[in-house]
Amino acid sequence: MSDAQLYAPIPDSCFARLDFRPKLALVTTLTIVAFIWESPLLGGLLALVVALACLGAGINFRYLRAPILLLLPFGLLILVTQGFFADAVIRLRTGQAALTPVFVIPESVWLVGGAAMSVEGIAYGLNILAKMLTMALLVPLLVLTTDLDAMVLGMVKIRIPYKIAFVLASTLRFFPLLLSDIRAITEAQRLRGLALERMGPIRRARIYAQLAVPLILGVIVKSQMLEVMLQSKAFTGDPARTYLHEARLGPGDWAVLMLSALLLVTAVALYLAFGIGRFGGPL
Amino acid sequence: MSSRRTQRSLEAIAVLDRVSYVYPRSREPALSNISLQIGKGEFLGLIGPTGAGKTTFCLLLNGIVPQFYGGRFFGRVTVAGLDTLEHPISRLAHHVGLVFEDPETQITAVSVENEVAFALENLRVPREEMVVRISWALEAVGLRGTEKRHPHTLSGGQKQRLAIAAALALQPELLVLDEPTAQLDPEGSQAIFAIVRELNHALGLTVVMASHAAEELAEYADRLALLRGGELVQIGVPDEVYGDVERLRQNGVRAPQVAETFCLARSKGVPVLRIPVRIEDGLALLRNLPPRRPPAGGRAGEAHGVREIRLSEGGQLEGGTSPAVRISHAPGSAAEGVPAISVRDLHHVYPDGTHALKGISLDIHGGEYVLVVGQNGAGKSTLVKHFLALLRPSQGQVLVGDTDTRELVVSDLAHRIGYVAQNPDHQIFSATVEQEVGFALRNLGAGEGTVRAAVDESLAAMGLTSVRGQHPLALPRGDRARVVIAAILAMGPETIIFDEPTTGQDYLGARAILGISRTLHQQGKTIVVITHALHLMPGYAERVIVMREGAVILDAPIRQAYNDLDLLASTHLLPPQVVLLAQALGGKHPEWPLLTPEEVAARIAEGGGRRCGSESNARRSAGRCRNGSAER
């Protein structure tokens, strides 16, 4: 990944142009909804909608691919474990006496012999996977469409102390620098004969652990330099400061705020009243 | 200039009175009993080797030392009449703007205008005034029109200009710059000096700049303060400080090449009354030297032999001085057989569409010492990454020996090509020097006996045996670089690539690393160095590859390459001053083109400049070259 890719420009889209506050409201709402819904169908649809929203907001697919790829092994693990071992939870939620088996492990197999993978278990696993995917995609939707200065301003407007807002934004700003350092170090290791591509996962993990020393050292040096630099720029964390830009809510921002509120209320109401979104519910 | 200096020195903007400072958990003082005044409108240069106290001095001026760091502080510092102990840093920030070395880590915002606004916001400047100040500051540094851009889309030089704009927006009376050009290419560096000088001249802004850029400081600074070990060794005008070449040498500081050259010439008996420290003074002195004997093979009409070299106000070459013949490197001439590295019609296009290399073809033979130069973005690193298989050709071919790098992974090449990165800390992973040096061999599957023998040999070669049990990161930077080199040597590569090895090093540190490269070369290794520091390379490199916009524009022996001034100028590379002097001397000398201060000094002396009258005079000149100084 090149430096240019590490510092992705804010896309020019309607969503990106929104104030940080409605974006945050929408992302919070979608997170809550994803958390509430246990239906794999609705959860999956929600994840799909969020993925499409990311693309619609102008985020390059390569930035979405990383969280998806990262989730893939965990997702498979969740599907297997839930498929086999989620019986108790599913029975409790659906009241079902028996689950529909898909596959039964022969009794002769030590320890797990007789365990059955169920349709309901897989569905429950898919529901968890959909939640994780939705939440993972909401992060780039918020972070990659908002410049950090606007983010700080937005957070201050919703009464998050300036110091905390600044620290959060600085952490995000440091992320590309950290990735750049990781890349430089792994590159240097490969140049010293380290054939990562030919290693097993355990050896590779041990090698990655060795990254910590130079990485932490680099972070310490950088953060100390940042601290000195902030001092020289009269940074005190005092919230009584002025801002170059104003954060004003336009009609579009208000519309998204209202839409978010409406979505949240509707989802909760449908869930409570009709069980829509409940595991084993109508949808 | 002297009247301006006198006028400005009447009123002080900063006064240091017997200042000593010791960092927390340190025994040695970082600054020791320093007293001086910085006049309003003055340009004060801070020079000295690494660890001299230059950065601490800079941080002292806005109260970060000692307010932020703590430690033990003695004496008194006042800036704009404010005691730096009694007033908070945020108050002092109104008066002192600070610019640091690393253009990356001093950026906090994600747009240029927000970066400039950051300190203003902290100081509660009203929005309307902020807009005016941002516009003015960006105009002053030539960055108008970039307001909405992400700072990381700017070049290194532009980022430093942005840092200056952010400091300027505070409308400080004092601008302090700590090694602002250390990580920049020549073009970026020149822009910074030009802007700082303009601010100093046009706005009367007081400037304090720590720098190793001797030629530029000689040109621009009103006074220089020489620090060593936290002590103020000498303070005076550049003619005094840089004219005292021997004292600089003793203190580990490089003099401008013009001063070094005339100091050597004086030691050879040439009557140089005052050592010039600026190139134009050196050229003028050459013209005024008594006539010399025509060199062997030279014509009588070249009695003076001084060619016209024109310099612009900023010391830039105005052209018309390149040698008539360009001598291109003849591929394959350095050695017979298969080249160590062979590049055939190499193109590389990055995923974002940048066409970084455009049809490069060259051979590097075993035992060569090759210098790769060019501006940032010229394609130097991209080219070298192909040698290491870190990048794959978009088109064309790279062969290491007779193997196509497409068939290899990076680790396959580790024992054939070693790579010393700009920042040695990124190449250190182990808990002890010994483990670090053996790291690669263990990766390559060598037995413990082989590893131990190779480690012992490499540590001895780099003089690191005594620190083999220490943590590499606990060693000084120069030693850390040697650890990395030792680790590479342990693999026994035939080719070693040094990427900007002198960045962040002082003169002695840079010389030490280049000395190692020369030793390795003498042992038969192929050496490739990427650097902007052209003045350091004569005596080391044999061949120069000049790159511009992804293409090789010159591939020639170093003497020819350094003397192709038009071509160097076309890619914003500045030849060392000594080359300008050599070209001014001109003539058809058998050793022309000259490349080092020693050669040019010998040429001047050989030219028959009136020799010093007495033996005692000659001895004095040989022993010490000084223009007089205000010693402390």
The string of pLDDT tens digits covering residues B178-189 is 999 988 888 888
What is the domain extent for residue A227? 162-238
Sign of CA dihedral B139, B140, B143, B149: negative
Q: Do B429 and A210 touch (CB under 8 A)?
A: yes
CA B480-B485-B490 angle, 5° bins: 125
Q: Is residue A195 part of a domain?
A: yes
Neighbours of A62 (CB within 10 A): 11
Chain B residues with beta carbon closer than 8 angstroms to that of A3: 152
End-to-end CA distance of chain A: 41
Which residues are bridge partners to B176 per DSSP? Answer: B98, B208
Q: Where are the alpha helices (DSSP H) in B432-553?
A: 433-443, 448-461, 477-490, 507-522
State both tokens at B146. 């970039």
Buried (b) or exposed (e) across B261-289, using 16+ Cβ within 10 A?
bbbbbbbbbbebeebbbbbbbbbebbeeb
Q: Nearest CA of chain A to the CA of B153: how many Å?
A: 8
Neighbours of B130 (CB within 10 A): 21
More confident residue, B183 or B511: B511
Q: Is residue A218 part of a domain?
A: yes
- Cβ contacts of residue B490 below 8 Å, gap of 6+? B437, B438, B440, B441, B451, B454, B455, B457, B458
Residues A23 and A128 in one domain: yes
Q: Is B356 in contact with B318 (CB distance < 8 Å)? A: no
Chain B residues with beta carbon closer than 8 angstroms to that of A217: 425, 473
CA–CA gap between residue B95 and residue A221 (Å, rounded): 27
Question: How many A-B residue pairs are in contact by the CB < 8 A criterion?
Answer: 172
Q: Is B48 in contact with B34 (CB distance < 8 Å)? A: no
Residues A66 and A168 in one domain: no
Q: Which of A74, A72, A75, A82 is nearest to A117 (CA)?
A: A82
Question: Over the stretch B104-122, which tens digit does the pLDDT of each residue have?
Answer: 778 888 899 999 999 999 9
Q: Is residue A157 part of a domain?
A: no
Q: Nearest CA of chain A to the CA of B486: how many Å?
A: 12
> Which residue is closest to A231 within chain B, CA to CA?
B89
Residues A53 and A138 in one domain: yes
Segments in chain A below pLDDT 70: 1-8, 283
Q: Is residue A6 part of a domain?
A: no
> For strand B174-178 and strand B96-99, is the pairing parallel, antiparallel, or unpaired?
parallel
Residues A191 and A120 in one domain: no
Of A9, A192, A211, which has the smallest distance from its Cβ to B150's Cβ? A9
pLDDT value for A142:
94
Of B88, B352, B473, which has the smallest distance from its Cβ to A4's Cβ? B352
Ranking B75-84, B129-138, B497-506 by mean pLDDT, the lowest is: B497-506
Q: Concatenated DSSP letters for A168-227? A: HHHHHHHHHHHHHHHHHHHHHHHHTT--GGGS-HHHHHHHHHHTHHHHHHHHHHHHHHHH
CA–CA gap between residue B419 and residue B365 (Å, rounded): 17
Q: Nearest CA of chain B to the CA of A70: how many Å?
A: 22
> Which residue is closest to A207 within chain B, CA to CA?
B429
Q: What share of chain A is helix, strand, coil (3-state, %, to 5)?
A: 70, 0, 30
CA–CA gap between residue B567 and residue A224 (Å, rounded): 42
pLDDT value for B239:
97
**Where does residue B164 rank: exposed (0-12), middle (13-18), buried (19+ CB within 10 A)?**
buried
Q: Which of B478, B537, B536 is nearest to B504 (CA)?
A: B478
Q: Is residue A102 part of a domain?
A: yes
Q: Is B602 in contact with B581 (CB distance < 8 Å)? A: no
Chain B residues with beta carbon closer than 8 angstroms to that of A151: none
Q: Do A241 and B106 touch (CB under 8 A)?
A: no
pLDDT value for A149:
87
Query: Distance of alpha carbon B264 from its chain centroid, rounded?
Result: 23
Of B102, B114, B150, which has the smallest distance from its Cβ to A244's Cβ? B114
């609705």: which residue's tokens? A42
Residues A57 and A36 in one domain: yes
Residues A265 and A216 in one domain: no
Q: Predicted confidence band at B10 (pLDDT cuts at 50, 70, 90)?
A: low
Ranking A62-76, B260-274, B345-359, B389-403 by mean pLDDT, the lowest is: A62-76
pLDDT value for B611:
35
Residues A121 and A28 in one domain: yes
Neighbours of A10 (CB within 10 A): 18
Looking at the structure of chain A, the number of domains it has is 2
> Which residue is closest to A170 within chain B, CA to CA?
B108
Q: How is the beta sheet containing B72-79 ordered, strand by strand?
A: B31-39, B12-22, B72-79, B82-83
Question: Over the stretch A71-80, which tens digit does the pLDDT of each residue have?
Answer: 889 999 999 9
Distances (CA, A) of B305 to A135, B586, B604: 77, 5, 10
Residues A90 and A57 in one domain: yes
Q: Nearest CA of chain A to the CA of B389: how many Å?
A: 9
Q: Of A147, A226, A233, A248, which to mutate for an interface test with B (greatest number of B Cβ within 10 Å)?
A: A233
Q: Is residue A5 part of a domain?
A: no
Residues A122 and A47 in one domain: yes
Chain A residues with beta carbon closer than 8 angstroms to that of B426: 181, 184-185, 188, 214, 218
Q: Per-residue pLDDT for B614 more than 80?
A: no
CA–CA gap between residue B566 and residue B459 (Å, rounded): 44
Neighbours of B452 (CB within 10 A): 14
Ranking A219-233, B349-363, B542-556 by mean pLDDT, the lowest is: A219-233
pLDDT value for B463:
86
pLDDT value for B421:
85
- Cβ contacts of residue B43 below 8 Å, gap of 6+? B196, B197, B200, B206, B207, B209, B220, B221, B222, B223
Q: Per-residue pLDDT for B319 more than 60?
A: no
Q: Which of B479, B466, B493, B308 is nearest to B388 (CA)?
A: B493
Q: Of A147, A231, A241, A246, which to mutate for an interface test with B (greatest number of B Cβ within 10 Å)?
A: A231
Residues A229 and A94 in one domain: no
Q: Do B108 and A233 touch (CB under 8 A)?
A: yes
Neighbours of B528 (CB within 10 A): 26
> For strand B369-373 and strand B526-530, is the pairing parallel, antiparallel, or unpaired?
parallel
Q: Do A147 and B110 touch (CB under 8 A)?
A: yes
Top mean pLDDT of B136-140, B290-294, B421-425 is at B136-140
Q: Per-residue pLDDT for B323 more than 60?
A: no
Q: Do A7 and B150 touch (CB under 8 A)?
A: yes
Neighbours of B114 (CB within 10 A): 25
Q: Per-residue pLDDT for B626 more than 70?
A: no
CA–CA gap between residue A220 and residue B364 (Å, rounded): 40
Q: Is residue A83 part of a domain?
A: yes
Q: Concatenated DSSP letters for B542-610? A: SEEEEEETTEEEEEEEHHHHHT-HHHHHHTTPPPPHHHHHHHHH-S--TTPSP-SHHHHHHHHHHTTPP
pLDDT value for B301:
35
End-to-end CA distance of chain B: 24
> Which residue is closest to A240 within chain B, CA to CA?
B124
Q: Predicted confidence band at B336 (pLDDT cuts at 50, 70, 90)?
A: low
Neighbours of A6 (CB within 10 A): 15
Q: Is residue A2 part of a domain?
A: no
Q: How is the beta sheet containing B526-530 ordered, strand by strand?
A: B417-420, B495-499, B526-530, B369-373, B543-548, B551-557
pLDDT value for B312:
44
Q: Is B255 in contact with B248 (CB distance < 8 Å)? A: yes
Q: Of A192, A224, A236, which to mutate for an interface test with B (greatest number of B Cβ within 10 Å)?
A: A192
Chain B residues with beta carbon closer than 8 angstroms to that of A211: 429
State both tokens at B361. 């073809």
> Which residue is closest to A185 within chain B, CA to CA?
B426
> Which residue is closest to B104 within chain A, CA to CA?
A177
Q: Identify the DSSP state of A165.
A: H
Residue type, B232: L
Q: Of B118, B132, B430, B475, which to mutate for an interface test with A (greatest number of A Cβ within 10 Å)?
A: B118
pLDDT value for B185:
84
Q: Which of A254, A243, A242, A264 is nearest to A19 (CA)?
A: A254
pLDDT value for A177:
79
Chain A residues with beta carbon closer than 8 angstroms to that of B127: 242-244, 246
- Cβ contacts of residue B27 below 8 Å, gap of 6+? none
> Which residue is closest to A215 within chain B, CA to CA?
B426
Q: Predicted confidence band at B592 (pLDDT cuts at 50, 70, 90)?
A: low
Residues A116 and A87 in one domain: yes
Q: Nearest CA of chain A to the CA of B129: how many Å?
A: 10
CA–CA gap between residue B356 and residue A4 (Å, rounded): 14
Q: Is B77 in contact with B17 (CB distance < 8 Å)? A: yes
- Cβ contacts of residue A204 below 8 Å, gap of 6+? A196
Q: Predicted confidence band at B332 (pLDDT cuts at 50, 70, 90)?
A: very low
Q: Do A233 and B488 touch (CB under 8 A)?
A: no
Residues A39 and A88 in one domain: yes
Q: Do A242 and B166 touch (CB under 8 A)?
A: no
**Average pLDDT of chain B?**
85
Ranking B424-433, B571-580, B582-591 by mean pLDDT, the lowest is: B582-591
Of B153, B411, B425, which has the smallest distance from its Cβ to A190's Cβ? B411
> Which residue is closest to B88 within chain A, CA to CA?
A234
State both tokens at A232. 């020289």
**Where does residue B531 rank: exposed (0-12), middle (13-18), buried (19+ CB within 10 A)?**
buried
Q: Per-residue pLDDT for B620 more than 70?
A: no
More confident residue, B270 or A4: B270
